Structure 1
Amino acid sequence: MAEDEGLRARKRRETRKMISDVATGLFVARGFDAVTVAEVAAAANVSKMTVFNYFPRKEDLFFDRQEEGIALLRQAFRERRKGASPVAVLRALARSLVESDHAFARMNAGVAGFWHMVEVSPALRARLREMGEEAEAVLVEELTGQVGAPREDPIARLLAAQVVAAIRVAYSEGLRQIATGEAPEVARAAVVELFERGLTMMSASARGTPYA
Protein backbone atom coordinates (compact mmCIF):
# COMPACT_ATOMS: atom_id res chain seq x y z
CA MET A 1 0.00 0.00 0.00
CA ALA A 2 2.78 2.45 0.94
CA GLU A 3 4.56 1.64 -2.32
CA ASP A 4 1.36 2.34 -4.29
CA GLU A 5 0.90 5.65 -2.48
CA GLY A 6 4.51 6.57 -3.22
CA LEU A 7 4.02 5.78 -6.90
CA ARG A 8 0.84 7.84 -7.08
CA ALA A 9 2.54 10.78 -5.37
CA ARG A 10 5.44 10.61 -7.79
CA LYS A 11 3.11 10.48 -10.79
CA ARG A 12 1.20 13.47 -9.46
CA ARG A 13 4.46 15.43 -9.08
CA GLU A 14 5.50 14.48 -12.61
CA THR A 15 2.14 15.46 -14.07
CA ARG A 16 2.14 18.74 -12.19
CA LYS A 17 5.64 19.57 -13.41
CA MET A 18 4.77 18.63 -16.99
CA ILE A 19 1.72 20.91 -17.01
CA SER A 20 3.73 23.72 -15.43
CA ASP A 21 6.56 23.34 -17.94
CA VAL A 22 4.13 23.42 -20.87
CA ALA A 23 2.41 26.50 -19.45
CA THR A 24 5.72 28.27 -18.88
CA GLY A 25 6.74 27.66 -22.49
CA LEU A 26 3.48 29.17 -23.73
CA PHE A 27 3.74 32.15 -21.37
CA VAL A 28 7.31 32.89 -22.47
CA ALA A 29 6.38 32.63 -26.14
CA ARG A 30 3.15 34.64 -26.07
CA GLY A 31 2.81 36.39 -22.72
CA PHE A 32 0.76 35.34 -19.72
CA ASP A 33 -2.44 37.22 -20.55
CA ALA A 34 -2.52 35.92 -24.14
CA VAL A 35 -2.62 32.25 -23.10
CA THR A 36 -5.78 30.51 -21.85
CA VAL A 37 -6.02 27.54 -19.51
CA ALA A 38 -7.74 25.62 -22.31
CA GLU A 39 -4.69 26.18 -24.53
CA VAL A 40 -2.39 24.96 -21.75
CA ALA A 41 -4.53 21.85 -21.33
CA ALA A 42 -4.50 21.13 -25.07
CA ALA A 43 -0.73 21.60 -25.33
CA ALA A 44 -0.19 19.34 -22.29
CA ASN A 45 -2.65 16.76 -23.68
CA VAL A 46 -4.79 16.82 -20.54
CA SER A 47 -8.27 18.09 -19.77
CA LYS A 48 -8.93 21.60 -18.53
CA MET A 49 -10.30 20.08 -15.34
CA THR A 50 -7.00 18.23 -14.82
CA VAL A 51 -5.13 21.53 -15.03
CA PHE A 52 -7.41 23.03 -12.38
CA ASN A 53 -6.98 19.96 -10.19
CA TYR A 54 -3.29 20.83 -9.92
CA PHE A 55 -3.49 24.61 -10.25
CA PRO A 56 -6.69 26.19 -8.87
CA ARG A 57 -6.09 29.43 -10.78
CA LYS A 58 -4.33 30.32 -13.99
CA GLU A 59 -1.91 32.53 -12.06
CA ASP A 60 -0.81 29.49 -10.06
CA LEU A 61 0.50 27.97 -13.29
CA PHE A 62 2.93 30.87 -13.43
CA PHE A 63 3.76 31.05 -9.72
CA ASP A 64 4.07 27.28 -9.51
CA ARG A 65 6.63 27.27 -6.67
CA GLN A 66 4.65 29.26 -4.13
CA GLU A 67 3.83 26.13 -2.12
CA GLU A 68 7.52 25.22 -2.03
CA GLY A 69 8.40 28.63 -0.63
CA ILE A 70 5.80 28.35 2.12
CA ALA A 71 6.99 24.84 2.93
CA LEU A 72 10.60 26.03 3.25
CA LEU A 73 9.49 28.80 5.58
CA ARG A 74 7.50 26.47 7.81
CA GLN A 75 10.32 23.93 7.87
CA ALA A 76 12.84 26.56 8.94
CA PHE A 77 10.76 27.41 11.99
CA ARG A 78 9.91 23.80 12.78
CA GLU A 79 13.60 22.87 12.79
CA ARG A 80 14.93 25.96 14.57
CA ARG A 81 17.49 25.48 17.30
CA LYS A 82 16.23 25.89 20.84
CA GLY A 83 16.46 29.54 21.80
CA ALA A 84 17.05 30.76 18.24
CA SER A 85 15.30 34.04 17.50
CA PRO A 86 13.03 34.47 14.45
CA VAL A 87 15.69 36.70 12.91
CA ALA A 88 18.29 33.94 13.32
CA VAL A 89 15.91 31.43 11.71
CA LEU A 90 15.25 33.66 8.71
CA ARG A 91 18.91 34.60 8.33
CA ALA A 92 19.90 30.92 8.33
CA LEU A 93 17.21 30.13 5.75
CA ALA A 94 18.36 32.94 3.47
CA ARG A 95 21.98 31.85 3.81
CA SER A 96 21.16 28.24 2.96
CA LEU A 97 19.23 29.31 -0.15
CA VAL A 98 22.14 31.43 -1.36
CA GLU A 99 24.79 28.81 -0.61
CA SER A 100 22.83 26.05 -2.37
CA ASP A 101 22.14 28.31 -5.38
CA HIS A 102 18.44 27.69 -4.91
CA ALA A 103 16.14 29.08 -7.60
CA PHE A 104 14.65 31.45 -5.02
CA ALA A 105 18.07 33.07 -4.50
CA ARG A 106 19.18 33.41 -8.12
CA MET A 107 19.57 36.72 -9.84
CA ASN A 108 20.19 36.63 -13.60
CA ALA A 109 18.68 37.61 -16.94
CA GLY A 110 16.31 34.64 -16.92
CA VAL A 111 14.94 35.64 -13.51
CA ALA A 112 14.61 39.23 -14.70
CA GLY A 113 12.60 38.04 -17.70
CA PHE A 114 10.28 36.10 -15.43
CA TRP A 115 9.57 39.16 -13.30
CA HIS A 116 9.14 41.36 -16.37
CA MET A 117 6.17 39.18 -17.31
CA VAL A 118 4.74 39.87 -13.86
CA GLU A 119 5.29 43.60 -14.28
CA VAL A 120 3.28 43.79 -17.52
CA SER A 121 0.40 41.60 -16.32
CA PRO A 122 -2.24 43.09 -13.97
CA ALA A 123 -3.45 39.59 -13.08
CA LEU A 124 0.02 38.45 -12.05
CA ARG A 125 0.69 41.63 -10.08
CA ALA A 126 -2.56 41.11 -8.20
CA ARG A 127 -1.68 37.49 -7.45
CA LEU A 128 1.77 38.55 -6.28
CA ARG A 129 0.19 40.91 -3.75
CA GLU A 130 -2.00 38.07 -2.52
CA MET A 131 1.05 35.84 -2.18
CA GLY A 132 2.71 38.49 -0.04
CA GLU A 133 -0.33 38.53 2.22
CA GLU A 134 -0.32 34.73 2.37
CA ALA A 135 3.36 34.72 3.33
CA GLU A 136 2.68 37.28 6.05
CA ALA A 137 -0.12 35.11 7.43
CA VAL A 138 2.18 32.08 7.56
CA LEU A 139 4.87 34.10 9.33
CA VAL A 140 2.37 35.37 11.88
CA GLU A 141 1.20 31.80 12.48
CA GLU A 142 4.76 30.57 12.98
CA LEU A 143 5.84 33.50 15.14
CA THR A 144 2.86 33.40 17.46
CA GLY A 145 3.04 29.63 17.63
CA GLN A 146 6.63 29.83 18.87
CA VAL A 147 5.71 31.97 21.87
CA GLY A 148 2.10 30.97 22.46
CA ALA A 149 0.70 34.39 21.51
CA PRO A 150 -2.70 34.93 19.87
CA ARG A 151 -2.78 35.08 16.07
CA GLU A 152 -3.95 38.70 16.14
CA ASP A 153 -0.85 39.84 18.09
CA PRO A 154 0.10 43.18 16.46
CA ILE A 155 3.82 42.73 17.13
CA ALA A 156 3.85 39.45 15.21
CA ARG A 157 1.94 41.11 12.39
CA LEU A 158 4.42 43.97 12.34
CA LEU A 159 7.40 41.62 12.21
CA ALA A 160 5.85 39.52 9.45
CA ALA A 161 5.11 42.62 7.39
CA GLN A 162 8.72 43.77 7.79
CA VAL A 163 10.05 40.45 6.52
CA VAL A 164 7.84 40.47 3.43
CA ALA A 165 8.69 44.12 2.74
CA ALA A 166 12.41 43.36 3.09
CA ILE A 167 12.14 40.53 0.59
CA ARG A 168 10.20 42.68 -1.88
CA VAL A 169 12.55 45.66 -1.68
CA ALA A 170 15.73 43.56 -1.76
CA TYR A 171 14.58 41.50 -4.71
CA SER A 172 13.40 44.52 -6.70
CA GLU A 173 16.80 46.17 -6.17
CA GLY A 174 18.54 43.05 -7.47
CA LEU A 175 16.35 43.09 -10.57
CA ARG A 176 17.05 46.79 -11.07
CA GLN A 177 20.77 46.12 -10.98
CA ILE A 178 20.44 43.29 -13.49
CA ALA A 179 18.50 45.64 -15.77
CA THR A 180 21.31 48.20 -15.60
CA GLY A 181 23.90 45.61 -16.61
CA GLU A 182 25.37 44.60 -13.27
CA ALA A 183 26.82 41.11 -12.98
CA PRO A 184 24.51 38.52 -11.39
CA GLU A 185 26.83 38.03 -8.42
CA VAL A 186 26.82 41.78 -7.73
CA ALA A 187 23.03 41.94 -7.92
CA ARG A 188 22.66 38.96 -5.64
CA ALA A 189 25.05 40.48 -3.12
CA ALA A 190 22.86 43.58 -3.09
CA VAL A 191 19.78 41.44 -2.44
CA VAL A 192 21.47 39.69 0.48
CA GLU A 193 22.75 42.97 1.96
CA LEU A 194 19.34 44.64 1.82
CA PHE A 195 17.59 41.62 3.27
CA GLU A 196 20.12 41.62 6.12
CA ARG A 197 19.26 45.27 6.77
CA GLY A 198 15.60 44.31 6.86
CA LEU A 199 16.31 41.60 9.42
CA THR A 200 18.25 44.08 11.53
CA MET A 201 15.19 46.35 11.54
CA MET A 202 13.02 43.37 12.44
CA SER A 203 15.34 42.54 15.32
CA ALA A 204 15.03 46.10 16.64
CA SER A 205 11.24 45.89 16.43
CA ALA A 206 11.26 42.61 18.35
CA ARG A 207 13.43 43.93 21.19
CA GLY A 208 11.67 43.65 24.52
CA THR A 209 9.08 41.18 23.20
CA PRO A 210 8.88 37.36 23.36
CA TYR A 211 10.02 37.27 19.70
CA ALA A 212 13.47 38.72 20.43
Structure 2
Amino acid sequence: MTEGLRERKKRQTRRRIADVAIGLFVRRGFDQVTIAEVAAAAEVSVNTVYNYFQSKEDLVLPPDQASPDRLADIVRHRRPGESAALAMLAHLRDEVRHRDRKLGLTENFGRVFEMMRAAPTLTARLEDLGRQMTDALAVVLAEETGAAPDDQLPRVVAWELGCFHSLVFAEIGRRTAAGEKPDTIAEAVLDLLEVVESLLGERVLTYAIRKD
Protein backbone atom coordinates (compact mmCIF):
# COMPACT_ATOMS: atom_id res chain seq x y z
CA MET A 1 0.00 0.00 0.00
CA THR A 2 1.41 3.39 -1.05
CA GLU A 3 1.99 5.89 1.73
CA GLY A 4 -0.11 9.03 1.27
CA LEU A 5 1.19 12.58 1.66
CA ARG A 6 -0.59 13.03 5.01
CA GLU A 7 0.84 9.81 6.41
CA ARG A 8 4.33 10.67 5.17
CA LYS A 9 4.22 14.11 6.79
CA LYS A 10 3.05 12.59 10.08
CA ARG A 11 5.84 10.03 9.98
CA GLN A 12 8.41 12.75 9.24
CA THR A 13 7.10 14.93 12.07
CA ARG A 14 7.20 12.01 14.48
CA ARG A 15 10.75 11.17 13.48
CA ARG A 16 11.88 14.79 13.75
CA ILE A 17 10.43 15.17 17.25
CA ALA A 18 12.09 11.94 18.41
CA ASP A 19 15.46 12.88 16.88
CA VAL A 20 15.38 16.33 18.49
CA ALA A 21 14.38 14.84 21.84
CA ILE A 22 17.13 12.23 21.85
CA GLY A 23 19.67 14.88 20.91
CA LEU A 24 18.62 16.96 23.93
CA PHE A 25 18.56 13.92 26.22
CA VAL A 26 22.07 12.91 25.16
CA ARG A 27 23.48 16.40 25.70
CA ARG A 28 21.75 17.23 28.98
CA GLY A 29 20.42 13.98 30.44
CA PHE A 30 16.94 12.47 30.18
CA ASP A 31 15.68 13.79 33.52
CA GLN A 32 16.93 17.33 32.89
CA VAL A 33 14.86 17.92 29.72
CA THR A 34 11.13 18.73 29.74
CA ILE A 35 8.53 17.99 27.10
CA ALA A 36 8.09 21.74 26.68
CA GLU A 37 11.78 22.07 25.81
CA VAL A 38 11.51 19.22 23.32
CA ALA A 39 8.51 20.91 21.69
CA ALA A 40 10.30 24.25 21.45
CA ALA A 41 13.43 22.69 19.93
CA ALA A 42 11.34 20.72 17.41
CA GLU A 43 9.25 23.84 16.65
CA VAL A 44 5.93 22.20 17.49
CA SER A 45 3.45 22.60 20.31
CA VAL A 46 3.48 20.53 23.49
CA ASN A 47 0.13 19.08 22.42
CA THR A 48 1.68 17.96 19.14
CA VAL A 49 4.42 16.10 21.02
CA TYR A 50 1.79 14.31 23.11
CA ASN A 51 -0.24 13.53 19.99
CA TYR A 52 2.69 11.44 18.77
CA PHE A 53 4.15 10.25 22.08
CA GLN A 54 2.02 9.48 25.12
CA SER A 55 4.90 9.79 27.56
CA LYS A 56 8.41 11.20 27.74
CA GLU A 57 9.81 7.65 27.81
CA ASP A 58 8.08 6.94 24.47
CA LEU A 59 10.39 9.48 22.84
CA VAL A 60 13.28 7.09 23.50
CA LEU A 61 11.40 3.78 23.49
CA PRO A 62 8.48 4.23 21.07
CA PRO A 63 5.91 1.41 21.34
CA ASP A 64 6.17 0.60 17.63
CA GLN A 65 9.88 -0.17 18.07
CA ALA A 66 9.92 -1.36 21.69
CA SER A 67 6.70 -3.36 21.68
CA PRO A 68 5.62 -5.84 24.38
CA ASP A 69 4.46 -8.02 21.47
CA ARG A 70 7.87 -8.17 19.78
CA LEU A 71 8.64 -11.81 20.65
CA ALA A 72 5.06 -12.96 20.22
CA ASP A 73 4.92 -11.36 16.76
CA ILE A 74 8.16 -13.05 15.69
CA VAL A 75 6.66 -16.43 16.63
CA ARG A 76 3.27 -15.66 15.06
CA HIS A 77 4.94 -14.92 11.72
CA ARG A 78 7.28 -17.92 11.62
CA ARG A 79 7.37 -20.06 8.49
CA PRO A 80 5.71 -23.49 8.16
CA GLY A 81 8.03 -26.15 9.58
CA GLU A 82 9.82 -23.63 11.78
CA SER A 83 9.81 -23.82 15.57
CA ALA A 84 9.44 -20.85 17.90
CA ALA A 85 13.11 -20.95 18.95
CA LEU A 86 14.47 -21.25 15.40
CA ALA A 87 12.20 -18.44 14.22
CA MET A 88 13.57 -16.16 16.92
CA LEU A 89 17.17 -17.07 16.18
CA ALA A 90 16.64 -16.43 12.47
CA HIS A 91 14.93 -13.10 13.14
CA LEU A 92 17.70 -11.88 15.43
CA ARG A 93 20.39 -12.94 12.97
CA ASP A 94 18.61 -11.03 10.22
CA GLU A 95 18.36 -7.89 12.38
CA VAL A 96 22.05 -8.12 13.28
CA ARG A 97 23.14 -8.60 9.66
CA HIS A 98 21.07 -5.59 8.59
CA ARG A 99 22.31 -3.48 11.54
CA ASP A 100 18.72 -2.85 12.59
CA ARG A 101 18.24 0.38 14.57
CA LYS A 102 16.16 -1.50 17.14
CA LEU A 103 19.30 -3.32 18.23
CA GLY A 104 21.35 -0.16 18.58
CA LEU A 105 23.91 -1.21 15.96
CA THR A 106 24.59 2.34 14.79
CA GLU A 107 27.63 4.60 15.15
CA ASN A 108 25.90 7.06 17.50
CA PHE A 109 24.23 4.54 19.80
CA GLY A 110 26.99 4.67 22.41
CA ARG A 111 25.98 8.08 23.71
CA VAL A 112 22.29 7.15 23.57
CA PHE A 113 23.00 3.98 25.53
CA GLU A 114 24.85 5.90 28.24
CA MET A 115 21.94 8.35 28.48
CA MET A 116 19.44 5.49 28.84
CA ARG A 117 21.56 3.71 31.42
CA ALA A 118 21.70 6.89 33.54
CA ALA A 119 17.89 7.34 33.57
CA PRO A 120 16.11 5.16 36.20
CA THR A 121 12.71 5.47 34.50
CA LEU A 122 14.14 4.20 31.20
CA THR A 123 15.98 1.25 32.76
CA ALA A 124 12.82 0.34 34.68
CA ARG A 125 10.82 0.62 31.45
CA LEU A 126 13.22 -1.78 29.73
CA GLU A 127 13.01 -4.31 32.56
CA ASP A 128 9.22 -4.18 32.54
CA LEU A 129 9.21 -4.47 28.76
CA GLY A 130 11.22 -7.67 28.97
CA ARG A 131 8.67 -9.19 31.36
CA GLN A 132 5.78 -8.15 29.14
CA MET A 133 7.46 -9.69 26.09
CA THR A 134 7.89 -13.00 27.90
CA ASP A 135 4.30 -12.98 29.14
CA ALA A 136 2.91 -12.26 25.67
CA LEU A 137 5.08 -14.98 24.14
CA ALA A 138 3.90 -17.53 26.71
CA VAL A 139 0.28 -16.79 25.79
CA VAL A 140 0.96 -17.33 22.06
CA LEU A 141 2.87 -20.55 22.69
CA ALA A 142 0.05 -21.90 24.85
CA GLU A 143 -2.56 -20.99 22.25
CA GLU A 144 -0.67 -22.45 19.29
CA THR A 145 0.26 -25.72 21.01
CA GLY A 146 -3.16 -26.20 22.61
CA ALA A 147 -1.56 -26.45 26.05
CA ALA A 148 -3.80 -27.11 29.04
CA PRO A 149 -4.23 -24.22 31.51
CA ASP A 150 -2.01 -25.95 34.07
CA ASP A 151 0.74 -26.84 31.55
CA GLN A 152 3.90 -24.97 32.56
CA LEU A 153 5.84 -25.73 29.37
CA PRO A 154 4.76 -22.65 27.35
CA ARG A 155 5.80 -20.39 30.21
CA VAL A 156 9.14 -22.15 30.67
CA VAL A 157 9.97 -22.04 26.94
CA ALA A 158 8.91 -18.38 26.76
CA TRP A 159 11.18 -17.60 29.69
CA GLU A 160 14.15 -19.36 28.05
CA LEU A 161 13.63 -17.59 24.72
CA GLY A 162 13.11 -14.28 26.53
CA CYS A 163 16.39 -14.79 28.40
CA PHE A 164 18.48 -15.30 25.28
CA HIS A 165 16.74 -12.35 23.62
CA SER A 166 17.71 -10.20 26.62
CA LEU A 167 21.23 -11.62 26.47
CA VAL A 168 21.64 -10.29 22.93
CA PHE A 169 20.71 -6.77 24.02
CA ALA A 170 22.92 -7.02 27.11
CA GLU A 171 25.87 -8.07 24.93
CA ILE A 172 25.27 -5.16 22.55
CA GLY A 173 25.05 -2.77 25.49
CA ARG A 174 28.21 -4.14 27.14
CA ARG A 175 30.24 -3.89 23.96
CA THR A 176 28.81 -0.47 23.08
CA ALA A 177 29.81 0.84 26.51
CA ALA A 178 33.32 -0.55 25.88
CA GLY A 179 33.56 1.56 22.72
CA GLU A 180 33.42 -1.23 20.15
CA LYS A 181 32.29 -0.44 16.60
CA PRO A 182 28.89 -1.68 15.31
CA ASP A 183 30.47 -4.09 12.82
CA THR A 184 32.62 -5.66 15.54
CA ILE A 185 29.63 -5.93 17.85
CA ALA A 186 27.51 -7.50 15.11
CA GLU A 187 30.08 -10.23 14.46
CA ALA A 188 30.31 -10.97 18.18
CA VAL A 189 26.52 -11.18 18.50
CA LEU A 190 26.29 -13.58 15.55
CA ASP A 191 28.86 -15.76 17.30
CA LEU A 192 26.82 -15.52 20.50
CA LEU A 193 23.70 -16.70 18.69
CA GLU A 194 25.61 -19.72 17.42
CA VAL A 195 26.51 -20.59 21.01
CA VAL A 196 22.92 -20.07 22.14
CA GLU A 197 21.58 -22.41 19.46
CA SER A 198 24.17 -25.08 20.31
CA LEU A 199 23.14 -25.01 23.97
CA LEU A 200 19.37 -24.98 23.55
CA GLY A 201 17.96 -28.44 24.18
CA GLU A 202 16.21 -30.46 21.50
CA ARG A 203 12.87 -30.04 23.25
CA VAL A 204 13.12 -26.25 23.04
CA LEU A 205 14.46 -26.23 19.47
CA THR A 206 11.58 -28.41 18.27
CA TYR A 207 8.83 -26.85 20.39
CA ALA A 208 5.86 -25.22 18.68
CA ILE A 209 6.72 -26.12 15.09
CA ARG A 210 4.27 -24.48 12.69
CA LYS A 211 2.42 -27.13 10.74
CA ASP A 212 0.54 -25.04 8.16
After TM superposition, give the deviation of residue 34 of structure 1 in Å. Answer: 0.6
Indicate if the aligned counterparts of 1:140 and 1:160 stay in contact, CA closer than 8 A.
yes
Normalised by the size of structure 1, how large is the TM-score? 0.79
CA RMSD of aligned residues (A): 3.2
- Any conservation in 1 of the 2:83–2:209 contact (CA below 8 Å)? yes
Deviations 1:2-47 (A, max 9, x none): 98x9443323222211211111121122111110111112222222
Aligned with residue 169 of structure 1, among 162, 167, 170: 167
Matches within 5 A, 1:1-212: 6-64=4-62, 66-68=63-65, 70=67, 73=71, 76-107=74-105, 110-149=108-147, 154-204=152-202, 206=204, 210=208
Rounded Cα–Cα distance in structure 2 between residues aligned with 1:168 and 1:100: 19
Task: Provide the C-alpha distance between the structure 1 equivalents of 2:12 and 2:136, rounded to a whole number of angstroms.
Answer: 27
- Alpha-carbon distance in structure 1 between the residues aligned to 2:5 and 2:200: 43
Question: How far apart, CA to CA, are the structure 2 residues paired with 1:58 and 1:176?
Answer: 25
SS of the residue aligned with 1:68?
A: coil
1:199 positional shift: 4.6
Contact map agreement 1:143 1:156 (CA 8 A) in 2: yes
Report percent identity of matched pairs. Answer: 35
Q: Give the whole-Å Cα distance in 1 for the aligned partners of 2:135 and 2:16.
A: 30
TM-aligned CA distance change 1:203 to 1:24, over 3 Å:
same
User: Could you tell me how far 1:162 is from its partner in structure 2?
Assistant: 2.2
Q: Which structure 1 segments of 5+ residues have no match?
A: none
Q: Which moved more, 1:33-42 or 1:145-154?
A: 145-154
**Compared CA separation, residues 128 and 207, structure 1 to 2 (3 A):** closer
Give the 3-state SS of the residue equivalent to 1:81 in structure 2: coil
Say whether the 8 Å CA contact 2:110–2:177 is kept in structure 1.
Answer: yes
- Asked if structure 1 preserves the Cα contact closer than 8 Å seen for 2:83 and 2:206, the reply is no
Question: Per-residue displacement from partner, 1:139-158 (whole Å, max 9, x unpaired)?
Answer: 22332333233688532222
- Give the distance between the partners of 2:150 and 2:30, measured in 1 at CA: 36
Uncovered stretches (5+) of structure 2, i.e. residues with no partner: none
Distance change (3 Å), C-alpha of 1:33 and 1:153 = farther
- Closer/same/farther in 2, CA of residues 54 and 85 from structure 1, 3 Å limit: same
Aligned residue pairs total 209
Contact kept in structure 1, 2:84 and 2:205, CA below 8 Å: no
For CA contacts below 8 A with separation 6 or more, give which structure has more relative contact order: 2
Higher helix share: 1
Cα pair distance change 1:208/1:183, threshold 3 Å: closer
Q: Secondary structure at the match of 1:18?
A: helix
